[in-house]
Amino acid sequence: MEFLDLLALGFGAALTPENLAFCLLGALLGTLIGVLPGIGPTTTIAVLLPVTFFLPPLAGIIMLAGIYYGAQYGGSTTAILVNLPGEASTVVTAIDGYKMAQKGRAGAALAVAALGSFFAGTVATFGLAIAGPTLSGFALSFGPAEYVSLMIFGLLAATILARGPVLKAIGMILIGLLLGTVGTDLSTGASRMTFGAIELFDGIDFIVIAIGLFGFSEIIENLEKTGASGVKVAKITRLWPTREDFKRAWPAVLRGTGVGTFLGILPGGGATLASFSAYSLEKRVSKRPAEFGEGAVEGVAGPEAANNAGAQSSFIPLLTLGIPSNNMMAMMLSAFVIHGLTPGPQILQSQPQIFWGLVASMWIGNAMLLVINLPLIGLWVRLLTIPYRLLYPAILLFCCVGVYSLNNRIFDVALAAGFGLVGYLFRKAKCEPGPLLLGFVLGPLLETNLRRTLLISQGDASVFVERPISLTLLVATALLLLMMIVPNFRKNREEAFKGEEA
């Protein structure tokens, strides 16, 4: 019954008034930014990262996690009511959800989405609780060679599963890796890529890059496109779904939860991929495929369950192996690092209350979201009418304070503004900045472990294929590369992401 003891420890940690308050704050903020178009969870977490430095570690991490999964709830509300997906992961929800709303069944769609998300969140939380100790026990047997192979596999898989062209994503990862080398080299003491600037000797701060690439450049881009015009909000009717809705929705929720939990674990996976896959799965297994796009309740239930499950299970690789699988988890990793914590197998043993507290808070947060969302839907919808011209100065202020407070240096703010311009250029070049963050976070880890491996083996690179776990990972990497060359797979991948640009 050790498992229950640990879960009890987690609930004990998560149920302190302070942590409960931050969990609620995270869930509220997540819902808020999920509802508001033009600001996503990546930007919000980048903005709030510096703030978490002033909070106790667990409270800060609980809040950031709450923003991530809270945004999945909030995004679905606007997707259903106004056909305006607040988040990429809710794009498919809008297809059938909005149709249901037009037919006067908005309440049922919202309730199915919220209940499905809650169920999926519960299952994924248990998945995390079970997989955590098992996987991290496995990870304890990892040496530097295994970590190198794992990171190469993870980075490559992330480019294939993430949206956008693979080559561009690989290039963005490489730029991230290069940015990660800026500063004093830990093993030789040489200063690299600093162009003689003393401010860069300690490297570039993650927050400077994240706020520049996401916060600043997003504001510039949104202003260029001039604010969204008035939105028509569908009427909310009877909230409780009919018996028929329940009968059709629950198998879809089950399938969505399964798909989401699995895809969330994979590198590059997460909420967006999960919801798209769940939608196509529902369409394929349905006996009434013609109803999809015309307001099929399964088309809301499946993806909504999947995106929530995916959002939560993407914490698994980060918390057990210490390897973030997407840019959101790269943010979470730096939230740990701010407090001097390195997620991974060690933390599970040395500070179990952090891992289990986070797991417990996720379940509590999901329960809170159910309450926040269903009765308060009217309030969230009213927020949609806030014009962007009132919103962006506030976002800008939070970004600036966050960057400035790092070291009280003008340099950091100017550098972040520079990254804002770079991020703007990336957007013009149609490059997703997400993989860059992943590369930046993993770069130093990759280099250290690569050096360590080859130092131990005295320069013999065959060590990577002699160790079985490392070999398996490298073979998997090679298979991924091969798959990309096969045209059939490429076509399927492109189809899976079709419509995401909308």
Partner 1 sequence: MSGSKSSARGDRPDLLTAAIFVGVGALGLWAGRTLDFGSLASMGAGFVPTIICWLLIVVGLWVGFLGLRRAYAPIEPAKLRPILVITASIIGFAFVAAWLGFVAASLFLIVTSSIADHEVRMFETLLLAVGLSIFGALVFVVGLGVQIKLLPF
Residues at the interface with partner 1 (CB under 8 A): 51, 54-55, 167-168, 170-171, 174-175, 177-178, 181, 185, 187-188, 190, 192-193, 195, 216, 219-220, 223-224, 226, 389-390, 392-394, 396-401, 404-405, 408-410, 412-414, 416-417, 420-421, 424-426, 428-431, 447, 450-451, 454-455, 457-461
| Smallest distance, partner 1 to C-beta of residue 279, A | 28
Q: Which residues pair with 262 in a beta bridge?
A: none
Closer residue to partner 1 (CB): 178 or 476: 178
Closer residue to partner 1 (CB): 73 or 424: 424
- Helix ranges restricted to H, 384-461: 388-407, 410-428, 434-456
| Smallest distance, partner 1 to C-beta of residue 53, A | 9
Separation CA 141–CA 466 (nearest Å): 15
Q: Are 257 and 271 in contact (CB under 8 A)?
A: no
Closer residue to partner 1 (CB): 229 or 458: 458
| Smallest distance, partner 1 to C-beta of residue 448, A | 10
Separation CA 228–CA 37 (nearest Å): 9
Separation CA 48–CA 211 (nearest Å): 10
Closer residue to partner 1 (CB): 226 or 229: 226
| Smallest distance, partner 1 to C-beta of residue 286, A | 36
In Å, what is the CA distance from 60 to each residue of 21, 26, 45, 48, 332?
Answer: 11, 9, 11, 9, 10
Quote the crossing angle between the two packed helices 144-161 and 166-180, to the nearest 10°: 140
First CA to last CA distance, the chain = 49
The enclosing H or E element of 429 equals none
Look up residue 422 and give its two tokens. Answer: 């770079």
| Smallest distance, partner 1 to C-beta of residue 323, A | 18
| Smallest distance, partner 1 to C-beta of residue 377, A | 26
| Smallest distance, partner 1 to C-beta of residue 114, A | 30
Closer residue to partner 1 (CB): 83 or 194: 194
In Å, what is the CA distance from 53 to each residue of 30, 117, 340, 406?
Answer: 19, 30, 10, 9
Closer residue to partner 1 (CB): 220 or 471: 220
Closer residue to partner 1 (CB): 168 or 339: 168
CA 73 to chain centre: 14
CA 493 to chain centre: 20
Q: Are 19 and 58 in contact (CB under 8 A)?
A: yes
Q: What is the number of residues in the chain?
A: 502
| Smallest distance, partner 1 to C-beta of residue 272, A | 21
| Smallest distance, partner 1 to C-beta of residue 4, A | 36
Separation CA 115–CA 190 (nearest Å): 55
Q: Are 458 and 251 in contact (CB under 8 A)?
A: no
Look up residue 30 and give its two tokens. Answer: 């997540």
Separation CA 456–CA 11 (nearest Å): 43
| Smallest distance, partner 1 to C-beta of residue 212, A | 9
Separation CA 470–CA 476 (nearest Å): 10
Which residue bears the tokens 């860059």? Answer: 436
| Smallest distance, partner 1 to C-beta of residue 485, A | 13
Closer residue to partner 1 (CB): 111 or 474: 474
Separation CA 502–CA 55 (nearest Å): 38
| Smallest distance, partner 1 to C-beta of residue 81, A | 26
Closer residue to partner 1 (CB): 166 or 236: 166
3-state secondary structure of 191: strand
Closer residue to partner 1 (CB): 153 or 356: 153
Closer residue to partner 1 (CB): 169 or 370: 169
- Gyration radius from the chain CA atoms: 22
Q: Are 148 and 448 in contact (CB under 8 A)?
A: no
Closer residue to partner 1 (CB): 16 or 181: 181
Q: Which residues pair with 184 in a beta bridge?
A: 191
Residues ≥6 apart with Cβ < 8 Å to 195: none
